[in-house]
Amino acid sequence: MKTGLTNTKVKTWGGLPLLAWALIGLTIALSLTWSHFRFMWVDEFLAFYTDGLPTFRDVLHVQLYYPLGLEPPFDHFLTHGFLALMGRNAIALRMPALLGFLLFQISLYFFVNRIAGHRSAIIAMAFPLLTNTLARSVDGRPYGLFMGLFALSLVCWQSAARSEGSGRSRLLSLIGLWLAIAACISTHYFGTLVLIPLWLAEITRAMHRKHIDRAMTITLSLGVASVALILPFLKGTKIFRQHYYYTPIPVTPRFILELYRRTILDDSSPLNHPGQMAFIAVFLLALSVGIILRLRRNIQLDPQQHDPPSEWVALFATAMIPLFGCLLDVLATHTLLPRYVLPADFAFAAIAGIVLQPAVRRARVFYAIMALLVSFSLWINVWNIHRDRLEGLQILASSTPSPAVRSALEKDPSQRIYVQNFSEYMVYSYYAQDPAIRSRLTLLTDEDQFQWEKIDNVYLMTENLRHFGPMTIVPYHDFLKLPNPLILFYTHASDFDMWIDRDLKVRGRDLRIFGPWMDGYLAEVLPGESPASHPPQP
């Protein structure tokens, strides 16, 4: 079968042309630079403390019984290895994410190259640099690896499908398909969604060719059986399910549109919100027109020159991953965030490259499009790097106390500084410039927190941390019994950060504020009535 390759021949190294390697180099440079300036955020600290344990057996034990990050262990296995090899730092934490993103790009190249040639494939590789997906390469969470393994599954399926009856061995493609599916599912629970485009594409292929590919069917069935790998880890997550968020987010058309918007671009983009919507609307309109023209061309061609319909089904089903994610959310997880469905960007990038094939046959057009894509991606990502650099500097600067706050802290240098907010504790116990202050920070936790916040995930994670974490944690009711003075760092970053303020007020205990510090305020808890006389009543 012809693959639609109409481009001139190009020299390759390792299967990739030099321009593709240049894009990979650009990705690595942008990602590592961004990672250097970007401070870890609270979810990354959960992985940092879990995966930094002495042995992988310890990591496995935590994921089974005391999980902080609610996902299967494959990403934790890789991250643990990099932390052991490169040291306990943010870049080591994020290496699996970067490698996953590179795998995502390389998979895009091979998938599109088989359909539309190397120029279209290179454009598809460049597309993720413009979207929300590059940020996942600097996020020490499983999403970058999840995207790469999802994409690898599609490429292995395509390779195995095209190899049938060609006389070439397809054993490696089939083994790769099975392993990629198993690894994808073992990286994130939403990795099970990879089975949908693969099975829909294979069913379409069987109907089109009027026979069942037994080897492929067995391989995909083994992929389904890989779900058994994650079942033991579900037990540790069950406790989080009841009140993980305030209320379940209703799946409405507006929610779905917002999900797609944040799959392509999010609020951190230098484009403002109306600009994002206009960009996405124009992009989707152009993509739709291109698809129609491409499919009309297929109808007019000899059947042997068509794009395989099963591959278009695979792409369309991948583009619908946010919809399938909504279904999984309603039926099982009751938790859905845009980063759980980012593999949809594989379809957008691949289709964009494919529909541009007629235009990029002309070298001038191809290089003009590439120059535009690279320039735009540099603008977006340099802006993101600059923004995160300023945020990091602000964190460092805010940890330097004002004279009034410093005076209060120096009254008793051995006195603990109790921290109300889980996220702020994670950030400042690691990044505060003064090591003496870092050692004094103590996290407060309490089971009554749910009465104020209507969620219990922070309390549950804190309780799990008590089993293995290096931080100092004190139950809130023990804090109330301590002799005065009590020094409290608190913040009002959002409504649910105010629970201690409210509880202290109910108990008749006021705060004397020394001044702003870090991302909140330093205060002294003043004596009041007996804690038992005022039980919490939200």
Phi and psi dihedrals of 425, rounded to 5? Answer: -60, -45
pTM, entire model: 0.91
Pairing relation of β-strands 473-475 and 441-445? parallel
Quote the pLDDT of residue 113. 95
Residue with tokens 């209507």: 454
Alpha helices in 195-250 (DSSP H): 195-209, 214-225, 231-237
The pair of structure tokens assigned to 318 is 């991948």
∠ CA 289-293-296, nearest 5°, is 140
User: Does the N-terminal peptide bond of residue 485 adopt cis geometry, omega within 30 degrees of 0?
Assistant: yes
The span from the CA of 100 to the CA of 22, in Å, is 18
Amino acid type, 405: V
Residue with tokens 């949809």: 344
How far does Cα 510 stand from its chain's mean position?
Answer: 41
Local confidence pLDDT in tens for the 538 residues of the chain = 444 444 456 788 888 999 999 999 999 999 999 999 999 999 999 999 999 999 999 999 999 999 888 889 999 999 999 999 999 999 999 999 999 999 999 999 999 999 999 999 999 999 999 888 999 999 999 999 999 999 999 999 999 999 887 767 899 999 999 999 999 999 999 999 999 999 999 999 999 889 999 999 999 999 999 999 999 998 888 777 665 654 556 788 888 888 888 888 776 666 666 666 677 777 778 888 888 888 777 655 555 556 789 999 999 999 999 999 999 888 877 778 889 999 999 999 999 999 999 999 999 999 999 999 999 999 999 999 999 999 999 999 999 999 999 999 999 999 999 998 888 999 999 999 999 999 999 998 877 666 666 667 788 888 888 888 888 899 888 898 888 889 999 886 554 456 777 788 888 888 889 999 998 889 998 886 544 444 444 4
In 293-407, DSSP assigns E strands to none
Phi and psi dihedrals of 486, rounded to 5? Answer: -115, 125
Cβ–Cβ < 8 Å for 339, 146: no
The span from the CA of 148 to the CA of 308, in Å, is 23
